[in-house]
Structure 1
Amino acid sequence: MAFTRATGKHRRPKQPSRIRRAGAGAAGIAGLTAAGVVGTLASPALASDGDQSGEAHDTGLIRALEAQGDNLAQTMHEQAIVQETAELQAEAETAAKAEAAKIKAAAERKAAEAKRKAAAEKARQKAAQAREKAEKERAAKQQAKAAASRSAPRESAAPAPASGGYVLPVDGSYVSTGYKVGGGMWSSGSHTGVDFHAGMNTPVKSVAAGEVVEAGNGGAYGNNIVIKHKDGTYTQYGHLNSIGVSVGQSVTAGQQIGLSGSTGNSSGPHLHFEARTGPDYGSDIDPVAYLRQHGVSV
């Protein structure tokens, strides 16, 4: 008759699947086994049964080790999650810092541009004020000179040559830009008259007797005068600084009709002089030849 020992423990069948679970459960059990923990703790239990077959017994130790391995695996998993979370957070912080730096740089550029524009506008206003002031001062001086000229006794007309009563429009002057000279300054592509050398506010005279048919702003000519002469020809005087006659007024040869200047499309003070067959632009003829035909030395 066989008896079993009353140890309170019962032999269990082999559990290769549970042992495999313990082996796959974590590196922790493998580490513990490698350290000899399982061998050391399990040996007395196996030896106490007197079983030399090498079969594993469910002494509770394996379950404890399995639980410990599971805990270790869980801990490692949690640590991996914590590490991954930290990396993601670091990436997010880096991206946020980069975006903040980008926004800050854009704001600084915008502020610098606004500052530059404000400075440019201030400089522009200052320059405009300076020009306006200079223009007012220049206009005041010109008005004073014109008033003095009007109040002074008029110059007597220069003696008219016996050959026709014509004189130079500016005493003692010379032609500084010839007739039909080409260039981009003139809309027609060439000079429709001649320029007589003259400083600012030099007296300008009618070359012959006639009637004033135009006196005022002539567009590109600035302040200009057009006079019709007795032979049916016309003469024009452009870029004047001031005008001393009016439309309908009769003038004599050598009579002062205005002061030279640089109004209209002009590069500096001078007198633009034209001889025409009609009163309007485009009817010009050679002014030097015209004056010479009337006995004027040019």
Structure 2
Amino acid sequence: MAFTRATGKHRRPSKARSRAAGGAAGIAGLATVGVVGSIASPAFAASEGQKHTPVQQDAKMSEVVGGPISETLDEQAYTQALRAEQAKAEADAKAEAAKAKAEAKRKADEARRKAAAEKAEKERDAKLKAAREAERAKLNAYVAPVEGSYVSTGYKQGGGMWSSGSHTGIDFHAGMNTPVRSVAAGEVVEAGNGGAYGNNIVIKHKDGTYTQYGHLNSIGVSVGQQVKAGQQIGLSGSTGNSSGPHLHFEARTSPDYGSDIDPLAYLRQHGVKI
């Protein structure tokens, strides 16, 4: 009697194959007994032929139970385990990607914050520098003593009105009580009656030069006071040896009479346009 085995493809080793192998071995044993019995006693084999039929059916059942069905269950379990591993790997990858994204965002935010702080600091430093330069410019700035005026009498002009025989300064056209300004920052070293100059002010500047303002109607500063360029120090007038309201202005190398230098050249040298 011949026995056949159902065939099929197996994807991987499993317990089902072992069970199937065991079932096949049992079937082979039964087949051997049947062959031996046929050789020894053909009549017995013929008479007992129908008794072997259930054995053949049992072998087939055993093969079905231990073979394809078990292998299908193992395949399902393997597939489920593989899918679980894949799902875990995907979840881990997503978590890692989210973590990397969050870290990248944190670094980007930190970089933006740092850049903004550096920009603000640079802008603040630039403003401070500009303020210092502006203050320094004011300290070094020079202006005309009477705004919008002009020179009515030049330097060293001769005449009997001056005791030295010539004009030791220049006169600026100015009506009565016109504001008079310090031409530069400095310290007031004289403020009061100056004889022929009438009410006058003398200021020492940072470069060591002096300027003098004469014939004032009123004085608005006192000795020792610090003044800035363009600061009002008095009002023009016609006090002292004067023929009418104006401002007598001198540039000197010392606070004393006789140390005068060309005031117009002095102002122009310091950027004053007259």
TM-score normalised by length of structure 1: 0.46
Per residue, is there more helix in 1 or in 2? 2
TM-score if structure 2 supplies the norm length? Answer: 0.50
